[in-house]
Amino acid sequence: MAFNALSLPISGTHVAFAAGALLALALLSSRYRARRHLSYPPGPRPLPLLGNILDIPRSQFALTWTELGRRYGPLTWLTVPGQTFLVLNSFEAAKELLERRGSIYLDRPRWVMLKELIGLSNYLVLSPANDFWRKQRSHLKHALSGAAVKSDYSSLLETKARQYLERCVARPENVLLETNRIIGEVIIKLTYGKLEDAQGRDYIQIITRLLDIMILSLQGYVVDLFPTLQYLPKWLPGMKFKRDAARWEKEIRELEDTVLTLVKANSLSDDPEVQSSYTFKKMQEIHSKDRDEHGVQEQTKLNYLYTGGLETVNHSTETTMQSFIYAMILCPSVQKKAQDEIDRVIGSTRSPTFEDQPDLPFLHAVMLETLRWNPAVSFGVPHVSRKDDVYEGYFIPKGTTVIPNAWGFSRNSKYYTNPSIFDPERHLKESPELDPREFVFGFGRRLCPGKELAFQEVWILAASILWAFEIVSWRLCASALRAELILDVVSHPTPFECQFVPRRERLKDKLEVATN
């Protein structure tokens, strides 16, 4: 039986529904038409089937992103089948998209190798913007706020800085290793309260290995560009990524189990150091909310996994300190000026404390310049968009991976005069140049929650080194050294040797007095 539309009973609801549907259709079609007239941002021409795969670097990523910016302008568009990428070489565009429109650019890439094959999807920095991520971030926001860092962690940071100086006096040939070690100790102390478990296993070694695996797996595996490759059998040629993933997954599970055991043991500890740690406090919260043993187990695991996100960012602080030491070797006049300021304000009888901070403006500028000169996360951590967007007339579809090229901002003469020169004075001008903390710690809702802690930590370590030592190069004179930076996932200076020469007579005695 044929129905005549007019013979159907029509109610007000139907009319409203039909009008709504028509309106939605009209909107959709006008949006579609508008989109058809909108273009993607400029970028290199994609190849059939492969897209821009040949334009995507395998190393020194930030250099390629910066070069693309020079050729195509502040926004560069790249595609590989099924994925779209937007490289930002404009600080203003990064601010607008990732911060002001932060609710759109909130997710993280799929990172097939790291998250799906190795199973690290629950680490805070890698996590999609889900409920757990939100809860953990809100907890961290308080635990690592500027006020909390000042009141809760200043004394730990000062004590660690003095211990560091003592170790450098005792083992001057090992200062770079000691630098990495002390930074690891700060984060582990703060997270777990202890550096090793009852069996004497060193947590810094465990975490360092975890970080190394993470960074290795982010170094441009082809499966990240073509996720379907993961379903092919591992005996086929080109499937090395599958074997790597299987090996690392096993290793990571073992490392995690060790730390998880510590987290559980810690939750029962009556040691005050443990009780002041981040995980102890979180575990108390979990126990107070969930009395069911299975729930507690699950929460403990999640707590560990998310806390794991804290240590996974440790390399950034290490490389920032390495960049500082490297810059001081390359620029002896800057080093001397900072030391003169320290000598004037602090003198020779005691080592620096945070109370000296307001009186050391040149040192503050040196630390800002260190962050700018070699942004530790040189091309930022990518954000992924949750819905379609339009910016400056360009269409940015949902699911686009947006890369804020921090290195590009740091080398852009629009923001900095002579950007490749290490020059702290740029931050002391009447109108200071762009504060690098505006971009080296990322943007918007994914902004680094550890930025206050990181800045205070590198500040106290740098102040202590300059107070106690002259930093010189082991073999070469400064003029023979060139600034060479490796811009990988976490960027760092090329391996170099250096020596800390004591500037104070009886330095060891002075440090002992300070420590006691």
Q: What does the block give as tokens for 143?
A: 């635990």
At closest approach, how far in Å is the CB of 444 from ligand HEM?
Answer: 6
At closest approach, how far in Å is the CB of 334 from ligand HEM?
Answer: 19
CA distance 104 to 6: 44
Judged by CB under 6 A, the residue of 106, 329, 381, 462 near ligand HEM is 381
Q: Which is nearer to ligand HEM, 434 or 507 (CB)?
A: 434
Can you say whether residue 499 is alpha, beta or left, with left for phi > 0 and alpha for psi between -120 and 50 degrees? beta
Binding to ligand HEM, residues 172-201 (CB under 6 A): 187
At closest approach, how far in Å is the CB of 192 from ligand HEM?
Answer: 13
331 is in an annotated binding site: no
End-to-end CA distance of the chain: 98
Beta strands in 19-90 (DSSP E): 75-80, 83-88
Report if residue 245 touches ligand HEM, rule: CB under 6 A. Answer: no
Encoded one letter per residue, x for contact with ligand HEM by CB under 6 A and - for no contact, window 262-301 reads ----------------------------------------
Of 64-72, 232-240, 252-260, 379-387, the window that binds ligand HEM (rule: CB under 6 A) is: 379-387
Stated length of the chain: 516
Encoded one letter per residue, x for contact with ligand HEM by CB under 6 A and - for no contact, window 437-476 reads ---xxxx--xxxxx--xx----------------------
Q: Which is nearer to ligand HEM, 342 or 368 (CB)?
A: 368
- The burial of 42, by beta-carbon neighbours within 10 Å (0-12 exposed, 13-18 middle, 19 or more buried), is given as middle
CA distance 214 to 208: 10
Q: Which is nearer to ligand HEM, 41 or 109 (CB)?
A: 109
With the C-alpha atoms ordered 205, 137, 219, 66, is the resulting torsion angle positive or negative? negative
Phi, psi of 51 (to 5 degrees): 65, -135
Angle in degrees, 0-180, between the axes of helices 203-217 and 293-311, rounded to the nearest 10:
70
Residue with tokens 């001008």: 429
Judged by CB under 6 A, the residue of 300, 320, 323, 400 near ligand HEM is 320
Q: Which is nearer to ligand HEM, 187 or 245 (CB)?
A: 187
At closest approach, how far in Å is the CB of 380 from ligand HEM?
Answer: 5
Q: 335 Cβ partners below 8 Å, 6+ apart?
A: 328, 466, 470, 471
Q: CA 392: distance to chain centroid? A: 28
Residues engaged in binding ligand HEM (CB under 6 A): 124-125, 137, 144, 187, 309-310, 313, 316-317, 320, 376-377, 380-381, 383, 440-443, 446-450, 453-454
- Binding site for heme, by residue number, is 448
